[in-house]
Structure 1
Amino acid sequence: MQLLFTILLDGLVYASYLFIVAAGLTIIFGVMKILNVAHGGFYAWGAYTAAYFIGAASEMGLPDWFAFLIIAGSALAVGIVLGLLIERIVLRRLYDHEEILIVLATFGVFLILEDLILLIFGVNPYFAYQPMVALGSVEMGGIFRDVYSLTLFGVALLVAAGSWWMLTRTRWGKLITAVIHDREMALIVGINVRRLFVVTFCAGAVLGALGGAYIAPTVSVAPGFAVDVIVLSFAVVVIGGMGSIPGALIGALLVGLLRALAVHKLPELELFVIFLVMSAVLIVRPEGLFAPAKARKI
């Protein structure tokens, strides 16, 4: 029973931060139809920025709770700055080109962002443990868990609720829905599609950076650590359906729970199990479990 509870808890924690990253990825694809490989760069930059400034704040004697403001600020700064730069310098020139060219361009951007991390932050790992220490630990099911990791549940729920509210209850959501279903018609009726693309890309970038910034206190932030996360985020999005927030949530839960089960019972099959499920989903439903319905054009 204790092992089952541990697997469930580990799976939910892992699923929470995977969902945060995958939500940004699926929002960008749903609106812009761009498979953004550079999303891993947003994750890595969010983690490094948060870890660096949390360490600097600790050396300055600032209270540990200040680290949470740093995490939020790092996600916003990285997402907005990098999102604006990449959209204006790279993507804006490629909207009318083949999708494969955009994928290759974002992959090149990802490599550039990884190299810039080495130039700016160096090759040594960063340890931003202060927020975990500040929140302490709690006993659950006979084992002690750090409270900080459990707060990922709340962050993931806020992201899910905020995304749902924005897409279904706001004017921006209605504009986004119009662009998703028929970009040409949206242009004809006067919707500023380019501005909508900028806002969407920056919002997705902020979520990618938030995933990295929030997970930074729980891991060793080192070069190359974003590769595994972006691969698993793609798996989440593919399983749930490209462009679907509910799909990303269900996909993250499946991946998180399966990974936790494999880690505890069959660690040698950790990645195999995830991609086996992804392959099975693609065979049965090539568009994913919860792919958004496409408008029928007459």
Structure 2
Amino acid sequence: MKRHVRYPLYFIAPAFAVYFALFVFPALSGFAYSFTDWSAYSEETKWIGLDNYRQLFSEGVLGLAIKNTLLYALVVTIFVNLFGLILALLLNRNSRLGKFYRTSFYTPVVIAPLIVGYLFTAIYNPEQGILNEALRFFGLGRFAVDWLNDSRYALFSIMLTELWRSSGFAMVIYLAGLKTIPQDLLEQASVDGAGAFRKFRNVTFPLLAPSFTVNLLLTVINSLKVFETVLVLTNGGPGYDTEVFNTLIFRNFSRGNWGYATASGLVLTIIVSVIAVTFLRILRKREVEL
């Protein structure tokens, strides 16, 4: 009997070993190394306590990275979900071209962020980029600017890139939620004289609460962890005007300041966890109230 009970544990042992080696052990070792002077410039690693964290919070770059990351996450979360919901509502009808449009809007999601970054680097090129060429063609040459090297537009350009890439993912989640809404409720609302807006506000929107929870939570987490797109488009520049948390961590790792970089990574983990848990509680409470 005892042997029969233990038998299923053999199946999870390989998966647990891989998970421990690739996730648990690196996380624990990273936490420990954040309290050391681990670097490429010394063969010995010494315990220095909270010195890495003191240095991190005393530098002005950290505040700028946090501000840029939070601003990016806020704007991207709002507009990705807004555009995704609009696309889902427009494509919820069964039509011959519906599948084509859904595939077209979802395709950017499966493209690697690095490739998207290189693609939009060409689009934003100030001299031969498609965007500025189109503006000049339509007589709007005064709006043709250096999108990635001007501090006024660089972060905005990165946000636009992410909106193009991620809106299709939000669209798919909202489409799945729309398919679960009973048509009887919508028909009953129409019989009662409700227009399109009232049906959306009183029927569709409340029943989409689970989809909103999933989309908002995933978008917030992914936005706070943005890295590849910023790295390729601006590398945190011009200056530090588009520096985000992960580019700050990458910059210190590439300089050999590994202990300092792991401390930065731990701070990012705490920020993402706190924001994600807060969002989850608020959204779950909203689901219950609706």
Q: TM-score, normalised by structure 1?
A: 0.30
Query: Using CA pairs below 8 Å that are at least 6 residues apart, which structure has the higher relative contact order?
Result: 1
Larger radius of gyration: 2
